[in-house]
Amino acid sequence: MKTIKPLNLKIIRSDLDHIAKARGIIVVLVTPEGALDPYARRVNKLTRGSLTRLISSKKFEEADSGQLFSIYFPERCAAEQICVVKIERRTSKLAARKVGVSIAKMKGSVEMLLALGNFPNLIELCKGIVLRDYKFDIYKADASSKSDGSTLITVMTKNPEFFNSQVPELVAIRDGVFLTRNLINEPSNILTTEEFASRLEELSKLGIKIEILDEDDLRNLGMNAFLGVGQGSSSPCKLVIMSWLGAADDDSLLTLVGKGVVFDTGGISLKPAGGMEDMTMDMGGAAVVAGVLATLAKRRSPSNVVGLVGLVENMPSGTAQRPGDIVKSMKGDTIEVINTDAEGRLVLCDVMWYAQERFKPSAIVDLATLTGAVIVSLGHENAGLFSNNDWLCNEVLKAANSENEGAWRMPLGKSYSKLLKSRLADIKNVGGRAAGSITAAAFLEKFVKPEIPWVHIDIAGVAQTKTESDHAPAGATGWGVMTLDTLVKNNFERG
């Protein structure tokens, strides 16, 4: 299991004399108008006016805000490089975070001094650095000789006490996002349903209560839709329940439900070979739920949140579920299985019903790499949101926008639900090619009690990408951990 390294961040009080001694890379800020703060002025003096020459150049004048400039092997400095950031002193938190991402991509494995003084969004800039400073290379033969991304970052600030007070939340978010990325990046021969459950069990060390239901438990509960997905695999189905009760005296309870298909062949409705290797990420929803719970626990959130993840593997075999099979859900509705590759909704419908029956939540949010159709609709820029409640959906969108995690609301309605009518059962699990992501959400809506606010988030396009994303290198993004942490902070915390 890939461990999450401690954050190698050192905070020191402003000391202009320290700048000449700092090694690695020194980062200073210059405004678009060319104004230098005391730290940039000290660097300019040490380097005999190199910053003055830079800001008087046409290249600097034409550069966009947030652009980096490098001065290598500066005079009278121990550092190998000076990084000059062109940015306004008063800027948005997302602009500051974007600069941090750019710095992380530039820095490599070299230690760094951030001489940024009283830059207002310093913590967000640091968040950009630590979120982007990630790699997953544990299965490469020479991984032990490579940097683990934990090289020292020294932050020089006029108010180290205030900055230090913000660091625990930064660590909690970083660790939750990295947990999600690590789980999604793991190959399926390692991250089996049993191994996944075992790793989630380790979250009990953070104060999260963990319960694991096995196949006998699921059978006794009547979760036949869930069990049907896994009946062709030698890996047993498991339901893991993670409870964070940080405000035990409060009645408000948010439940998060995640799809945890550790590998999806499509079952008897077999997927094409090309690209099937990417189906190791079909447990992305469960990984996000785990990351959110870890973040809440690490920052000691005064909220009550229960995460439930259905862990299963969808394989073709002599015992596998067949197209045309009819299964009875925990709710009692019968489902005609038209396509065994529409398996995630069969897992979620039982887990969501169980969550409502047992926990009586104030709201429910489910996350799943559910459909390829959502990628056709929204590409890899936005997750698709579907909801029965405008308030909750708008709060999720607001949280996503505030964290620069793309999300877009998609429609629901009776006309889409009609496409799921079955001749033989109460409902069928697919509605045809048209509006595939919408009919998948419409299927799930049938297993949500009308009085419970619900949002379904289809993260198929954003959980893992072939190219780098806003906060991550290519691969697992950790999308959703920051959004849902902010949703909790804005709406479900007390005290």
Q: What are phi and psi of 153, to 5 degrees?
A: -115, 120
Rounded CA separation 86/177 (Å) = 28
Contacts of 147 (CB under 8 A, 6+ apart): 108, 109
Q: Regarding beta strands 25-30 and 153-157, do their DSSP bridges make them parallel or antiparallel, or are they unpaired? A: unpaired
H or E element: which one contains 386?
A: strand 383-387
Torsion of CA 443, 448, 454, 460, to 10 degrees: -30
Nearest to 28 by CA among 18, 20, 37, 16: 37
Q: Give the number of C-alpha atoms closer than 13 A to the C-alpha of residue 136, restricted to the C-beta side.
A: 19
Catalytic residue among 271, 300, 409, 449: 271
Q: Regarding beta strands 68-72 and 81-86, do their DSSP bridges make them parallel or antiparallel, or are they unpaired? A: antiparallel
- Tokens found for residue 414: 């009776």
SS3 at position 423: coil
Q: Give the torsion sign (CA, 316, 466, 369, 6).
A: positive
The yes-or-no answer on residue 45 being catalytic is no
Q: Looking up tokens 């889409």, which residue turns up?
A: 416
Q: By the 8 A CB rule, do 372 and 436 touch?
A: yes
The yes-or-no answer on residue 271 being catalytic is yes
Backbone region of residue 216 per phi and psi (left: phi > 0; alpha: psi in -120 to 50; beta: other values): alpha
Q: What are phi and psi of 92, to 5 degrees?
A: -75, 160
Rounded CA separation 309/287 (Å) = 9
- Tokens found for residue 147: 């940097």
Rounded CA separation 452/237 (Å) = 27
Nearest to 197 by CA among 227, 233, 239: 239
Rounded CA separation 9/119 (Å) = 17
Q: What are phi and psi of 456, to 5 degrees?
A: -105, 130
Give the DSSP letter of residue 31.
Answer: -
Catalytic residue among 181, 299, 345, 428: 345
Q: Give the number of C-alpha atoms closer than 13 A to the C-alpha of residue 176, restricted to the C-beta side.
A: 30
Q: What are phi and psi of 309, to 5 degrees?
A: -130, 130
Rounded CA separation 334/339 (Å) = 15
Write out the catalytic residue numbers: 271, 345
